[in-house]
């Protein structure tokens, strides 16, 4: 947090704009629109709220299906269930770790044969990198399916010169406490469809009609962002490029020091755009390094270093196992493999070189130790 955030929040106190809506909300929406190139934006209480409203705007309802990336956090899927729809999970590819166009095409062909095409395709842009959107857009246009971009993790990333989150009919960003910029909790829905965004604002403010009394004709939600939190977001947004540079520097140090170890592979950066490297993610091949990811995570934890597996694919979650899944290839699931071998390392913007060095030393030491034991 910096001086700009404090200034905007102080203005909210001085003017008594504390509750949802206010000048900071208006300013934050305008500034996100300008930065991303989207024609409009709606500031909300969370990225999940944005996904929920995007699904409603796409006409998703009970009994419908929504195709969604399987390698993601459950917040991508829960809003589908809110509306009584069914998720169909789509695998990743190794080139981006994001939605596989090959798997998506097979899923769409199968759905057309069944006479049950999805109401929307939700593409998740993982760990700060856009999916390969051109083939996904081509497929969705061919089948007449709108795209929702879950860009919760990829604010500031680009795809062929365009901002991640702006290539579909709707996009969302998250400003949760762990994201590259934060409002402590919050999100943003963006679109070029001004009429749809107006409807989203209406739903997000309890569907209150423009009457003197409280009049309601539709079910609404308490989804708007407060003026205080929007002030924090405005100050944070000014530092986005600095945050991206810092995260990329963290990634580069990890890759330069660990990338030459046989069996260690970092999440690739696709050549179609820029990744923010929101999190540094890599895979550990246990046959080549001699150490399993679970053992390495335990060794890091013993040194008071927090690291985690990559997202557990949604099709493996107990809540969601009953739903259909389309792997990258008929007999091979990329996301399963990434989950078995993937680790996310400490990647915070404020991380010191010394702290990062401690992480690197711990990983190097335990891989060397495991290789030595394996050789005996």
The reply to whether 200 and 260 lie within a common domain is: no
* Residues 159, 161, 165: CA angle, nearest 5 degrees: 50
Q: pLDDT at residue 376 above 70?
A: no
Query: pLDDT tens across 110-137, in order?
Result: 999 999 999 999 999 999 999 999 999 9
CATH number at residue 218: 3.40.640.10
Number of domains in the chain: 2
Domain ranges, residue 31: 3-240
Q: Counting Cβ atoms within 10 Å, is residue 114 exposed (0-12), middle (13-18) or buried (19+)?
A: exposed
Distance (Å, whole) CA 139 – CA 45: 32
pLDDT of residue 374: 60
The reply to whether 134 and 207 lie within a common domain is: yes
Q: pLDDT at residue 177 above 60?
A: yes
Tokens of 47: 């990225």
- Lowest mean pLDDT of 8-17, 56-65, 144-153, name the range: 8-17
Q: pLDDT at residue 261 above 60?
A: yes
Distance (Å, whole) CA 16 – CA 44: 20
The reply to whether 288 and 205 lie within a common domain is: no
Q: Which of 240, 263, 294 is the last residue of a domain?
A: 240
The CA distances from residue 94 to 180, 316, 337, in Å, are: 24, 19, 10
- Lowest mean pLDDT of 3-7, 316-320, 352-356, name the range: 3-7
Q: pLDDT at residue 373 above 60?
A: yes
Query: pLDDT tens across 230-251, in order?
Result: 999 999 999 999 999 999 999 9
| Partner residues linked to 325 by β-bridges | 89
The reply to whether 306 and 347 lie within a common domain is: yes
Tokens of 353: 């070189």
pLDDT of residue 134: 98
The reply to whether 196 and 292 lie within a common domain is: no
The reply to whether 273 and 124 lie within a common domain is: no
Instruction: For the chain, give the secondary structure using H, E and C.
Output: CCHHHHHHHHHHHHHCCCCECCHHHHHHHHHHHHHHCCCEEEEECCHHHHHHHHHHHCCCCCCCEEEEECCCCHHHCHHHHHCCCEEEEECECCCCCCECHHHHHHHHHHHHHHCCCCCEEEEECHHHCCCCHHHHHHHHHHHCCCEEEECCCCCCCEECCEECCCCCCEEEEECCCCCCCCCCCCEEEEECCHHHHHHHHHHHECCECCCCCCCECCCCCECECEHHHHHHHHHHHCCHHHHHHHHHHHHHHHHHHHCCCCCEEECCCCCCCCCCCCCEEEEECHHHHCCCHHHHHHHHHHCCCCCEECCCCHHHCCCCCCCCEECCECCECHHHHHHHHEEEECCCCCCCHHHHHHHHHHHHHHHHHHHHHHHC
The reply to whether 105 and 254 lie within a common domain is: no
Q: Closest Cα to residue 96, out of 134, 139, 65, 67?
A: 134
The reply to whether 50 and 98 lie within a common domain is: yes
Q: Please provide the size of the chain in residues.
A: 376
| pLDDT-based confidence at residue 328 (cuts at 50, 70, 90) | very high
The reply to whether 34 and 54 lie within a common domain is: yes
Rounded mean pLDDT of 17-34? 93
Tokens of 26: 């208006």
CATH number at residue 359: 3.90.1150.10
pLDDT of residue 153: 97
Q: Which of 213, 240, 267 is the last residue of a domain?
A: 240
Instruction: Assess contact for 97 and 149: CB atoms under 8 A.
Output: no
Q: Which of 211, 240, 269 is the last residue of a domain?
A: 240
The reply to whether 99 and 217 lie within a common domain is: yes
- Lowest mean pLDDT of 13-17, 98-102, 190-194, name the range: 13-17
Rounded mean pLDDT of 67-90? 98
The reply to whether 232 and 246 lie within a common domain is: no
| pLDDT-based confidence at residue 336 (cuts at 50, 70, 90) | very high
| pLDDT-based confidence at residue 369 (cuts at 50, 70, 90) | confident
pLDDT of residue 21: 85
What percentage of the chain exceeds 90 in pLDDT? 93
The reply to whether 7 and 129 lie within a common domain is: yes
Q: pLDDT at residue 312 above 70?
A: yes
Which residues lie below 8 Å from residue 40, measured CB to CB, with a gap of 6+?
29, 33, 190, 191, 192, 193, 194, 197
Average pLDDT, the chain: 95
Q: pLDDT at residue 375 above 70?
A: no
Rounded mean pLDDT of 362-372? 86
Q: Tokens 């091979």 identify what position?
A: 332
């Amino acid at each position: 947090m910096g001086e700009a955030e404090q200034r905007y929040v102080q203005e909210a106190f001085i003017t008594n704009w504390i509750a949802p809506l206010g000048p900071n909300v208006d300013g934050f929406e305008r500034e996100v629109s300008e930065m991303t190139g989207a024609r409009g934006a709606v500031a909300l209480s969370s990225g999940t709220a944005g996904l929920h409203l995007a699904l409603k705007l796409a006409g998703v309802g009970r009994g419908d299906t929504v195709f969604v990336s399987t390698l993601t956090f459950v917040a991508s899927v829960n809003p589908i269930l809110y509306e009584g729809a069914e998720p169909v999970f789509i695998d990743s590819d190794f080139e981006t770790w994001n939605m596989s166009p090959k798997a998506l095409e097979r899923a769409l062909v199968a759905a057309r044969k069944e006479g049950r095409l999805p109401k929307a395709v939700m593409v998740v842009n993982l760990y700060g990198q856009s999916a390969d959107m051109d083939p996904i857009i081509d497929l969705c246009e061919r089948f007449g399916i709108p795209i929702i971009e879950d860009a919760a993790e990829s604010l500031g990333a680009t795809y062929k010169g365009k901002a991640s989150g702006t290539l579909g009919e709707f996009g969302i960003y998250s400003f949760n406490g762990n994201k590259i910029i934060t409002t402590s909790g919050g999100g943003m829905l963006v679109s070029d469809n001004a009429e749809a965004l107006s409807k989203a604002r209406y739903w997000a403010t309890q569907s209150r009609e423009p009457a003197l009394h409280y009049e309601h004709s539709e079910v609404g939600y308490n989804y708007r962002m407060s003026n205080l939190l929007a002030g924090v977001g405005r100050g944070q947004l000014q530092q986005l490029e600095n945050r991206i540079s810092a995260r990329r520097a963290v990634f580069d140090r990890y890759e330069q020091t660990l990338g030459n170890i046989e069996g260690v592979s970092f999440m690739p950066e696709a050549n179609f755009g820029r990744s923010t490297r929101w999190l540094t993610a890599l895979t550990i091949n246990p046959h080549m390094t001699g150490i399993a990811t679970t053992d390495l995570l335990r060794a890091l934890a013993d040194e008071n270093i927090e690291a985690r597996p990559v997202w557990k694919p949604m099709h493996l979650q107990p809540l969601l196992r009953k739903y259909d899944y389309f792997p990258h290839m008929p007999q091979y699931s990329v996301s399963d493999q990434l989950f078995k071998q993937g680790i996310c390392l400490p990647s915070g913007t404020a991380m010191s070189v010394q702290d990062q060095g401690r992480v690197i030393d711990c990983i190097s030491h335990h891989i060397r130790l495991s290789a030595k034991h394996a050789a005996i």
